[in-house]
Amino acid sequence: MRIALLARVHLGTLAVLFVLALSACLLVAGLPRAMQASYDEALRRSLAAAPAWQADLTVSVESRSPEEDLHERGQFDLRDRRWHEILPAALRPLVTGAGHMSAKTTLTPVTGTAGQTYINLGWLSDAAQRVDWVQGRAPGRPSTMRYEGATIPVFEVGVAEDAQREMGLQVGQQKMLGENDYVAVKIVGVFKARNPADRYWSHNLEILQVTKIQPPGALDFEKHTTTLISDEGLTALSSEGRNLSYHWILPIDPRGASALAVPDLDAAVAEFGRVAALQSTGSPYHLDTGLPKLLADFRAALGTAQTVMYLVLGGLLAVALGVIALAVLLLTDRLDHTLTVARARGGSLRQVAGAAATVTGIAVMPAGLAGYGLSFLVPGPVLPIVHLGPAVVVLVAIGFAAARVARSHRTPLHERRDDVAAGRVSARRITLEVLVVALALAGAYLLRARGLAGGDPFLLLVPVGLTLAAALITLRCYPYPLRLFVRLAARGRAAVPFLGLTRAARARSASVLPVLILLPALGVSVFAAVISDGIASTQQLAAWQQVGAPIKVTSEVEIPAATISQVRGLAGVEQVVTAQTGRVQVGYGAENAEAIAVDVAQWRRILDGATVSLPALSDGALVSPELRGRGTFEIGWQSRVRLATRGVIDSVPGFYTEGKFMVVPLSVLTRPAVNTLLIKGDVSPDALARLIPSASVKSQERALSAIRDDPLTRTVRWALVVVTVALGSYALVAVVLSLVVGAAERARAVSFLRTLGLSDRQAQRLTVLEILPMILLTALVGLGLGLFLPYALGPGVDLASYAGGLPVGGYSLDLLIPLALAAGLAAVAVLGAYAHTAISRRRNLGAVLRVGDLT
């Protein structure tokens, strides 16, 4: 059989098949790479945004005897090398940079301060590269002195600028530390960090800042600071009489993180902690890190992203394979006459099936290779699906072509009864279809009733089952309403409605089955559109709840009235609402609550048009659920104030979401000390930050951008848009191919009718009436399925990670995109019908009547 001639004769069909296979292979290989790259970027951002003390690995040990003390840098270096040697393989890509080491004392009181002031001693292995000395000099070698009849060490130390200011420490001062075992410190310098924002200082914040602690029941604060000593100071630093611990920090480099390695990292961290503990010869070494918690949070968000992606990509692959199968069906129909002749002349079944597979392979194999190659232009790791996806597409196309031809040409000169409208369906098939529908409905009910456990296969099986059930019900039930319309049309005098609807109602299952590709295409695309819209609206709500106003300015100290006047005078400022926040005493006991005093009416005007709001309040208080049921109560805030409960609110936008809180009118305060501004207008947050340096400025627009710019969030929404467009395109192609697949039989019937006097206009209406009912019915079922899936899968898909932490639910029925898809399919069907009629009109009726007219 001349394969090259067959390919040249059917070049147009092969070109369509090539384009479809190319797009499918590119999507199935490229989209997973892009998504995995975004997963990696999300993990890296998560690790980079976390405090270093939480992400890094810190090996610590408490020295409990002089024998366990370390007095030389070499002793620290030796252990540091050991920690790197025993790192599990999964952690090595993350721990690539050089870390640092430290020795610190804790709870070292200043003698004679009754435990109110603490000056600890600290050594950093890289202090010389991290700080600049702004007064005095760097510490040097320690000395000794006599104190109360004993010789004690005198450490030269440096203090941070914050400690100098908060604790009144000066260069040249000498302080005695301890209550029993004494040590002296001499302040020889004041330092500041070269880069205070460096993640490094997350591990050593107590060195840069004074820590204030209010003990339970006490009115005054304890003040703690840690000073710096030199390398020589290690020789005199001992655990005798004080709390001394050593630390080795192994920093995590986010650039080496991979989302694919996350499942192995938890076990690796636990293994590293276990092996590090085995290195102990005295006090046990222990691993301190928050990395497992970070990975668990990321894994939860990643799991939801992957679930949504599996759903939409699975639907995309199924639809793409279905459309390719339609194109193969068209090709094998075009080859049918040639293969029938070859079979009648003695060709074996293997030869004719091989010929169809070879012709199909001429189109799909180069397309598969091209799509596979183009996928490498997409940045991201190469996953197994990148290799398997194109291979599956190619094998399915070739296998379907061979199988269909082999089934059709089991015997030579196969004949088909075109005058039979429908065959009897076997009891076995009916039972199987009823079982599929029952299982799909049961799965959807169970998913709604109990939610989804981690790793449960229901999430992937339920959408597939629902789609298949909808397709089977549509396939079996669509003739019955059409037959009702046929009976109505039969009562009329016009023949075209009766003939068109009769042909549509009597269409065999095999002829309408290709159209059912529209079900998953429309279902998944509408599902993706609804999910994307739900995420977008919830993101808006989350941004408003985070800020509570277009712009919010909060300060720890009172904002002067003159500054507020300047804010009101800034260009673009439309309205400024002043407020005071604070912690108030509820009643006369120890119960406290968070409170905001504000003019609620003005705040409500600022929130006009926003997705959040507050109840009206003129007097009394709006309280949280934990404060409900108290009627009139009293608070202590500047003075004692009696308030009546006017309502219960679950949250205060921009301020409180849980616990005990209340909203009161600003007028209840004797003298409001404004520390919060709620601003409406087109003004730069940076300008406000410059005007009020002590304040924190947040804007709703920036909060929304931060939510949307998260890599996982951006990937989910981007993928949903791509899949929606791709599925919509495939659905349109499916309609066109469905028209072309049945074109020959339809043209023959119309030609027969034209000999009986059917006009061109009547032929067009007849074709439309034959095609459009199934398209419209399938589009409506697919539309309904897509709108139903978000509600069916609601308990199983937690999209809060992509919507600012708020649960995505209560999907609004925005039918613009779904109806546009359904209307587009119907329009394409109608245009295709008119185009088909126009083409058929050019045919010679005599030739049409002779083709296949064997009696």
pLDDT along the chain (855 residues), means of 10: 81 90 90 85 86 91 88 90 91 84 91 86 91 92 87 91 87 87 91 88 89 71 90 88 90 88 89 90 89 87 73 78 87 85 82 90 93 89 87 92 86 54 67 84 71 52 75 79 79 76 65 66 77 82 90 89 90 91 85 90 89 88 89 86 90 90 90 90 88 87 85 76 80 76 70 70 74 78 80 67 72 68 71 66 54 44
Nearest alpha-carbon partner for 191 in 261, 122, 256, 101: 122
pLDDT of res. 120: 92
Separation CA 518–CA 778 (nearest Å) = 7
Structural domain total, the chain: 2
From CA 202, how far away is CA 56, in angstroms rounded? Answer: 10
Q: CA-CA distance, 216 to 490, in Å (whole number)?
A: 91
Residue 724 located in a structural domain: no
**Sign of the CA dihedral 205, 206, 208, 213?**
positive
Rounded to an integer, what distance in angstroms lies between the CA atom of residue 701 and that of residue 704?
5
Find the domain containing 674 and state its range: 557-693
User: Is 102 a domain residue?
Assistant: yes
| DSSP collapsed to 3 states, 42-98 | HHHHHHHHCCHHHHCEEEEEEECCHHHCCCCHHHHHHHHHHHHHCCCCCCCCCCCCC
Residue 626 lies in a domain: yes
Please say whether the beta carbons of 100 and 126 come within 8 A: yes
DSSP string, 127-185: HHHHEEEEEE------EEEEETTEEEEEEEEEEEHHHHHHH---TT-EEEE-SSS-EEE
pLDDT at 217: 59
DSSP E strands: which ranges in 476-556?
551-555
Residue 456 belongs to some domain of the structure: no
* Contact of 125 with 100, CB cutoff 8 Å: yes
* DSSP string computed for 268-279: HHHHHHHHHHTT
Give domain status of residue 31, yes or no.
Answer: no
- pLDDT confidence of residue 833: 65
Burial class of residue 164 (count of CB atoms within 10 Å of its CB; 0-12, 13-18, 19+): buried
DSSP 741-787: HTHHHHHHHHHHHHHTT--HHHHHHHHHHHHHHHHHHHHHHHHHHHH
Say what the pLDDT of residue 855 is. Answer: 39
Distance, CA of 432 to CA of 440 (rounded, Å): 12
- Looking at 674, 693, 712, the residue that finishes a domain is 693
Q: Which helix (H) or strand (E) holds 14?
A: helix 11-49
Q: Is residue 644 part of a domain?
A: yes
Q: Tell me how far apart the terminal alpha carbons of the chain are, to the nearest angstrom.
A: 29
Predicted confidence at residue 451, as pLDDT, reads 54
Distances in whole angstroms, Cα of residue 716 to Cα of each of 304, 308, 458, 572, 606: 10, 8, 21, 35, 32
What confidence score (pLDDT) does residue 155 get? Answer: 92
Is 85 part of any domain?
Answer: yes
**What confidence score (pLDDT) does residue 512 get?**
58
Query: Could you say which DSSP state residue 471 is in?
Result: H
| Cα radius of gyration rounded to whole Å, the chain | 38
Measuring CA to CA, how many Å separate 309 from each of 46, 322, 335? 20, 19, 38
Helix axes 711-741, 760-792, angle to 10 degrees: 150
CA distance 673 to 596: 11
Token pair, residue 391, equals 């291979």
Question: Residue 651: inside a domain, yes or no?
Answer: yes
SS3 620: coil
Going 749 to 751 to 756 to 757, the CA torsion angle's sign is positive
Query: Number of helices (H) and strands (E), helices first, in the chain?
Result: 26, 21
